[in-house]
Amino acid sequence: MRSKLVAGNWKMYKTAAEGAVLATAIRNGLRRKPGVEVAVCPPFTALTAVAQALAGSPIALGAQNLHPEAEGAHTGEISAVMLKEHGCVYVIVGHSERRRECGETDALVNAKALAALKAGLIPIVCVGETREEREAGRTEAVLTEQIRGSLAGLGDRLEGLVIAYEPVWAIGTGLTATPQQAQEAHAHIRRLLAAMGGRDAAARTRILYGGSVKPDNAADLFSQPDIDGGLIGGASLKADSFLAIVHSA
């Protein structure tokens, strides 16, 4: 049985002080251990403050990116080992904003996922199609290419990672895939995982949905058989909305 996971991606929001306040509010709203895994992924500069605010709670810490090398002359980058030292459990890799703004390829996402696993981090590997690709009927083809490229060589390690399906056209736009659309994409991804690592591994791998998830649509999305929680963007920046989504899961 796959456990649900709700992870908040704070993107480039929240200073260290603001992040500590938000993390404390989320922690206080989850005084009892929820029946779902919860994680927050603040900016690098807020990791220490958020880690301190979450100490002793069931909420896991995650990061939003990493470099595939453990160390080296990579100005402005951060390694998996550094994230681990700060208490991170999860790390997001291949988010569509980084694919678009930083030119990240499936091969680079694959290298980052491998680096995360090597360091003992759980990568949340993001995939998703653009609006133009969906309207052209290419959703499954795009997801197939991204999954095969981003997870190359990881067939026997699927259970050590998380997949996040985030249709690019639904991120920060207010548009949301219908539960049926999301389920169809998740089912396709799970079939791809089964072909790569076997049915048992695919059945145990969590696939999250992301893309304008809100308290009023979370329950319908999370009730789908292949949707195992969410990677939450804007709604994770307010404790009450994030907590409502967690309770929906």
Q: Which of 95, 97, 104, 129 is catalytic?
A: 95
DSSP 19: H
Among candidate residues 60, 64, 69, the one with its CA nearest the CA of residue 23:
60
- The DSSP H or E segment spanning 233 is none
Q: What is the CA radius of gyration of the chain?
A: 17
- Give me the residue label for tokens 């990061």: 63
Are residues 164 and 127 in contact, defined by beta-carbon separation less than 8 angstroms? yes
Which residue out of 37, 97, 129, 166 is catalytically annotated? 166
DSSP string for residues in 203-227? HHSEEEE-SS--TTTHHHHHTSTT-
Q: What is the DSSP letter of 238?
A: S
- Residue 217 is encoded by which pair of tokens? 């649509």
Asked about 85 being catalytic, the answer comes back as: no
Is 69 a catalytic site residue?
A: no
Catalytic residue positions?
A: 95, 166
